[in-house]
Amino acid sequence: RKEVEQDPGPFNVPEGATVAFNCTYSNSASQSFFWYRQDCRKEPKLLMSVYSSGNEDGRFTAQLNRASQYISLLIRDSKLSDSATYLCVVNGFQKLVFGTGTRLLVSP
Amino acid sequence: NAGVTQTPKFRILKIGQSMTLQCTQDMNHNYMYWYRQDPGMGLKLIYYSVGAGITDKGEVPNGYNVSRSTTEDFPLRLELAAPSQTSVYFCASSYPLVGYQETQYFGPGTRLLVL
């Protein structure tokens, strides 16, 4: 089993739609969780950290379910500029473990 | 702050040639990392370092070497380049909290083509 698993997509949604991604992780001892965003041919950049109680940043909401070992990202009112690959990231020993990413395509 | 800088941005190598990918960070981060990302694939950790003088292998270290003589610099050396090393290479750094892993900051990447 992979340490971090994501649906590769692509998720094709129209502007204004709400879309959700899930990610599962295998290490129950993991303490830190993140969502990164990667644009085509660019470096990954931190989108948001994921906290146990769930957290929101504008149109983005992240949730953590420790019992089921999954993390989710909800994007409301999708914009064209949200088109990117979203990487689920979980901490390992002295390093982060990156999922392979979920691709989102927002169309007019 | 420049953050994490990488040079060169793009390089073409012939099979069997060697080169060093440079990575520098000015955030005084202890931890530094090298990843490779093949087209349409996820990030794979090559090597990492938790401080000057300390390096450790990631999941795909074969064909690469690293050194960490200063906090700021973490060069990646390719010996005897092979077509399988054609990829985009990202360097990253972080300043982890005790017991946790702080967020990583990435450089813009080096695109390497081995022919």
Per-residue pLDDT tens digits of chain A, which is 108 residues long: 788 999 999 999 999 999 999 999 998 888 889 999 999 989 999 999 998 888 999 999 999 999 999 999 999 999 999 999 999 999 877 778 899 999 999 999
Percent residues over pLDDT 70 in chain B: 94
Q: Chain B contacts of A99, Cβ < 8 Å?
A: 42
* A-chain residue closest to B33, CA distance: A95
Interface contact B101-A32, CB threshold 8 A: yes
User: How far apart (Å, rounded) are the C-alpha atoms in residues A64 and A22?
Assistant: 10
B106–A99: do the CB atoms touch at under 8 Å? no
Q: Do A49 and B56 touch (CB under 8 A)?
A: no
Residue of B nearest to A91 (CA): B101
Q: Does the pLDDT value for residue B46 go beyond 70?
A: yes
pLDDT in tens, B70-84: 999 999 999 999 999
Instruction: Collect all residues of chain A within an 8 Å Cβ-Cβ radius of residue B42.
Output: 87, 98-101
CA–CA–CA angle A18, A24, A26 (5° rounding) = 170
CB contacts under 8 A, B 54-113 vs A, are 56, 58, 88, 90, 94, 96, 99-109
pLDDT of residue A1: 73
* List of chain B residues whose C-beta atoms are within 8 Å of the C-beta of residue A85: none
Average pLDDT, rounded, for chain B: 92
- Grouping H, G, I as helix, E, B as strand and the rest as coil, residue B77 is strand
What end-to-end distance do the CA atoms of chain A give, in Å? 37
Whether residue A73 contacts residue A56, with contact meaning beta carbons closer than 8 Å, is answered with no
Q: Which residues of B touch A42 (CB under 8 A)?
A: 108-109
pLDDT of residue B100: 56
**DSSP letters for A91-105:** E-SSSEEE---EEEE
User: Cα Rg for chain B, rounded, in angstroms?
Assistant: 13
Amino acid identity of residue A50, one-letter, is V
CB-count exposure of residue A76 (10 Å: 0-12, 13-18, 19+): middle
pLDDT for res A48: 92
For residue B45, the one-letter residue type is: L
pLDDT score, position A32: 87
Closest chain B CA to residue A99? B42
pLDDT at B2: 82
d(CA B7, CA B72): 14
Confidence at residue A52, expressed as pLDDT on a 0 to 100 scale:
87
Please report residues of B whose CB lies closer than 8 A to that of A91.
Answer: 100-101
Residue of B38, B103, B105 to mutate when probing chain A, most A C-beta within 10 A: B103
| pLDDT score recorded for residue B101 | 57
pLDDT score of A92 = 76
pLDDT in tens, B57-110: 999 999 999 999 999 999 999 999 999 999 999 999 987 665 555 678 999 999
